[in-house]
Chain A
Amino acid sequence: MYSELISEFSGQPVVDYDDAESWKGPAKAYRLREEYDDERKIAERLESLLEQPGADQITALIIGAWTGACEGSDSKEIVELIAGAADRLPSLKALFFGEMTFEECEISWINQSDVSPLLEAFPKLETFRVRGGSALSFLRTAHQSLRELGVETGGLSRSTIREIFLCDFPALKHLELQLGEANYGFDGSVEDLQPLLEGSLFPKLRYLGLTNSEIANDIAAVVVNSPIAERVATIDLSLGNLDSEGVESLKGLSGNRNLETLIISHYYASPEQVVSLKASLPFEVIAEDPQEPEDEWRPIVHAE
Chain B
Amino acid sequence: MALVQDKITLVGNAHSRRVQGFVAAAAREGCAVDIVSYVDAISGRCPPPTGGVVRLDSPGEDAEAYRAILRAGIEPLRMAGGEPLGRDGLERLKFARGAMLYPRQWYFGFRQTLHQLTIDWSAPRIRWMSTPTAVSTTFDKLACLERWSNLPTPHRFPQVWSYAELREAVKQRHARLFLKLRYGYAAMGAVALEWRDGNVRAITTVETCVEGGAAKLYVSKKPQVLRREAEIAWLVDRLAAEELVIEEWLPKARWLGRPFDVRAIVIGGEVQHAVGRANASPFTNLNLNADRISRDDLMRYLGERWPRMTELCVAAARELPDAGMLGIDVLVRPGGKEFALLEANAFGDYLPGLLHHGLSTWDAEVRWLRSLKELAA
Contact = CB atoms under 8 A, between A and B. Distances in A.
Contact of A109 (B176, B192, B196): B196
Interface stretch (B22-30, B36-44, B119-127, B254-262): B254-262
Interface string A97-109: 0000111001001
Interface string B147-174: 0000000000000000000000000001
B211 interface: no
A7 B257 contact: yes
Nearest to A109: B199
Contact of A3 (B256, B280, B334): B280
B125 to A, nearest CB: 52
A16 B249 CA distance: 21
Contacts of A190: none
Q: How large is the interface on A (under 10, 10 to 19, 20 to 34, 35 or more residues)?
A: 20 to 34
A72 B198 CA distance: 11
Nearest to A71: B196
Interface in A1-57: 1, 3-7, 14, 16, 18, 35-38
Nearest to A19: B335
Interface string B220-261: 000001010000000000000000000001010010111100
A218 interface: no
Interface in B277-332: 280-282
A16 B281 contact: no
Grouping DSSP codes into helix (H, G, I), strand (E, B) and loop, the A interface class, with mixed when no group exceeds half, is loop
A88 to B, nearest CB: 24
A35 B257 contact: no
Given A35-B251, A36-B251, A4 B197 contact: no
Interface in A216-249: none
A65 B341 CA distance: 25
B199 A103 contact: no
Contacts of A171: none
A70 interface: yes
A18 B196 CA distance: 26
A71 B197 contact: yes
Contacts of B192: 103
A5 B260 CA distance: 13
Contact of B199 (A3, A7, A16, A106): A106
Given A6-B257, A71-B196, A103 B203 contact: yes
Nearest to B223: A3
A257 to B, nearest CB: 40
B201 interface: yes
Given A4-B257, A106-B199, A18 B227 contact: no
A16 B176 contact: no
Contact of B256 (A7, A70, A71, A102): A7
Interface in B333-347: 334-335
A73 B199 CA distance: 15
B196 A3 contact: no
A35 B176 CA distance: 12
With a 10 A CB-CB cut-off, give which of A1, A38, A72, A101 has the most chain B CB atoms.
A101
Nearest to A2: B280
A304 interface: yes
Contacts of B201: 106
B280 A4 contact: yes
Nearest to A108: B199
Interface string A68-100: 001110000000000000000000000000000
Contacts of B282: 103
B223 to A, nearest CB: 9
Contacts of B259: 103
Given A106-B199, A109-B196, A18 B257 contact: no
Contacts of A102: 225
Contacts of B251: 35-37
Given A70-B199, A71-B196, A109-B199, 11 more contacts: A3-B281, A4-B257, A4-B280, A5-B254, A5-B258, A16-B254, A18-B334, A18-B335, A35-B334, A38-B334, A103-B282
23 contacts: A3-B280, A4-B258, A4-B280, A5-B254, A5-B258, A6-B257, A14-B257, A18-B335, A35-B251, A35-B334, A36-B251, A37-B251, A38-B334, A71-B196, A71-B197, A101-B280, A103-B203, A103-B259, A103-B281, A106-B201, A109-B196, A109-B199, A304-B225
